[in-house]
Structure 1
Amino acid sequence: MSRSTAEATIAAYYAAFNAGDIAGMLVTLHDDFAHHVNEGATRLGKAAFAAFCDHMSASYKEELQGMVIMASADGTRGAAEFVVHGQYLKTDPGLPEAHGQRYVLPAGGFFTLKDGKITRVTTYYNLTDWTRQVQHG
């Protein structure tokens, strides 16, 4: 796979995210997929990821801006850096109470790709910064 194919796949994944298109995100994923999150257990498979996305869509409204996507020359690894502009809609268990607070949070994702599809995404953001913003917002 080429660098440009990897970058296009990652761009399609995030374009679907910004459109609220979970099915579009799933199309970019390999059948052997793992979602490593900043906080919590790894989710294995598309079904577990889809359930996570459904939950997130109910609790948060987010748009990723300032997207920069990079990939290795062989197209097997990639990364993206962006800024999350979000609104906290519904209280997530163990987190502060939601009442429509807005937040702006630098974040990123790291990818492994195979056969033109994403096999792993690891998401990074600063939960302490997010918590501070929603507690004071």
Structure 2
Amino acid sequence: MQQAKTLIENYYQAFNQGDMDTFLSLLCDDVVHDINQGEREQGKDTFARFMQKMNHHYREQLENIVVMANEEGTRAAAEFVVLGEYLNTDEGLPEANGQKYRLPAGAFFDIRDGKVARVTNYYNLGDWIEQVDPQ
């Protein structure tokens, strides 16, 4: 259980530091990524392209991170708050002009061989849209 918690803590530490090499090194090559209100993607290369796109459109830091894991260390979950800035307009979403947002979020993980085998992210898209486009 502690190894799983440490893995997820390291995952988010690398994310917050913008250290994509370390971040991606914590994933299995065939990682499954369930995108919030989106498609399922598979593979570390696909995940890396997703993160490159996200880092272009958004600047985010996570705080108040709480990590939980099962006894076997094969599953974990995290709850956190996303502090973000909307940098560049993302297709199909409101226009970006540096809006700041604060968004509760969570993630669920499968862990295999000491790495993340699946990550499923969740946040309330309607809440985010209201924060960046409160019309």
* Cross-structure match for 1:84: 82
* Cross-structure match for 1:34: 32
Residue 51, structure 1, aligned to residue 73, structure 2: no
Task: Give the 4+ runs in structure 1 shifted more than 6 A.
Answer: none
Q: Deviation of residue 136 (structure 1)?
A: 2.5
Distance 1:9 1:98 in 2: 33
* Cross-structure match for 1:94: 92
| Partner AA of 2:50 in structure 1 | F
Residue 5, structure 1, aligned to residue 3, structure 2: yes
Distance 1:32 1:45 in 2: 4
Q: Deviation of residue 39 (structure 1)?
A: 1.9
Residue 118, structure 1, aligned to residue 116, structure 2: yes
Q: Deviation of residue 30 (structure 1)?
A: 1.1
Distance 2:119 2:65 in 1: 16
**Residue segments in structure 2 that go unaligned for 5+ positions in a row:** none
Match of 1:60 among 58, 70, 76: 58
SS at match of 1:25: helix
Distance 2:34 2:99 in 1: 26
Distance 1:103 1:136 in 2: 11
Identity percentage of aligned residues: 52
Match of 2:19 among 21, 24, 41: 21
* Cross-structure match for 1:129: 127
